[in-house]
Chain A
Amino acid sequence: MRDFYGSTLNTMFMLGTAQYPSPHVLADAFRRSAASVATVSLRRESGRDRAGQDFWNLIRDLGVHVLPNTAGCHTVKEAVTTAHMAREVFDTKWIKLEVIGEEDTLQPDVFGLVEAARILTEDGFQVFPYTTEDLVVAGKLLDAGCEVLMPWGAPIGSGLGLNNLFGLRTLRAHFPDTALVIDAGLGLPSHAAQAMELGFDAVLLNTAVAKAGDPAAMALAFATAIQAGHLAATAGPMCPRDMATPSTPVIGKAFLK
């Protein structure tokens, strides 16, 4: 299994912590799915005087890696400030870097993303950038010091699945040695299985589990699909072909006139 800035994860499932009916349900989802990373968004208004500490303690109690994020940041300055606050609150170098560039689709501002990634990397952060499947941007992020890339599957919270299979497959092929995590847009476990079948190293999602009728059951469903997809990718899948090939030979079979 791929390592993430020197850390090996028990599972390839990263799960968000927002929008659950309660922290109790959230903890249940983590328990049943054995997700190994919890992403948590830090509102600067909660971070300033640690007003969100009670909730953060509940996240810490999950006993998994905590990956704070800069969700909702639209500028480099906001993202950098939030990252610093997160490092202080969660005592981790990890930061999931989001710099949003478009309000409706929440598409990342890849120019600001690269700049923020460079600033934070130079400051000792280990950056997990939320990006698109763009190859050039991916290269720039690696140049900026990132060792992990998190391309979107589809817009955040949309549940649309993998929108650009060609782009994601190409990204995987171009960066075979980089840890790649599909982040955002997954709605169903089959989407996660598909991502893992493409050879991605992990999957990160939130809304599809948190907003499910039974979040813990859905988390387990995703965990199982991720495992299945990974197993399939490593098991050597057959190549699709246009011509039908019978699995049982036709020659020698009895036939009726």
Chain B
Amino acid sequence: MLIYILKRIIMIIPVLIGLSLLLFVISRLLPGDPVGLAAGPRATLEQIEALRVEFGLDKSLPVQYFNYIAGLLSGDWGASLITRRPVLDDLRIYLPATLELVVFSMTLSVIIGVPLGILSAVRPGGRLDVVVRIASLASLSMPRFFLGLMLQLFFAMLLAWFPLGGRFPFIVFPPPNVTGFMTIDSLVAGDIQAFGLSLKHLALPSIAMALSPMATILQLTRASTIETLNQDYVKTARAMGLSQRLILFKYVLKNSLSATLTMTALFVGWALSGTVLVETIFDWPGIGLYATHSVISQDFMPILGVSIVIGLIFIIINLIADLLYGMLNPKVQYK
């Protein structure tokens, strides 16, 4: 098992090299002008030339790539033009906020999506199933940014139940930073009020984030549950007199989950891209907001940094999904 995990971790390395190569190619070979982008719109010709040398862009492409990789590995991910700080430092500040949002919204979408998927699979074509499936198609069609805006409009502006945006009110002292997760930090500090506040701030962005992965998870769970329900061993469980609840939520769930899991992980990875939109709307200080700010001010290095981080998270989630798949499927042997 341990050896298998190690092997899988080692297998990440070529993927990472590929990812960096891809981003390098995009940044260097496309008809855009990275130096012009990096120098900002008001740079003079001399400044641009100086930057060109500074970035090593006067060297050959392989050398450039080597330098780029060496930079990535040594923690030099370039600097942001807006914040005037190294990209890596910025990411360290913004990443926990994004992770908190992603973890929260994914939990939400799994908690709602999986049971609904199972229930609608019990009677395919039944009334519940049709309603749930149309609702899930609708949620998939709902643009996150529109949903976010409407949630903001109704629940923050008109009803004022929730704050408009941000992670924590400016006028209140935040709990001391331990994990970077506001909710956990406030619990660690024993500050119930702060916990409530951070939950309130989390609520709307999480819902806006959760809706479409929830629909996807629901559909996947439904499909694999239908398949599982047709298996012979479900017939056995029925004939042995096990209750419908036990059959569905213990026996069928485990079987259909192992089939759903890998796909779900893939979609969780894709859902990460939703943070860009949701964070922009709710002013959530995460890497998505960081990326949009950078895009608007044509600040290229932070965008590269954010994409590397998102790629990394995606790879790690997939690895975890693979390992979980093995745990749910006793037949899989780790080699």
B and A form one assembly: no
| Residues of chain A having any CB pair with chain B under 8 Å | none
| Residues of chain B having any CB pair with chain A under 8 Å | none
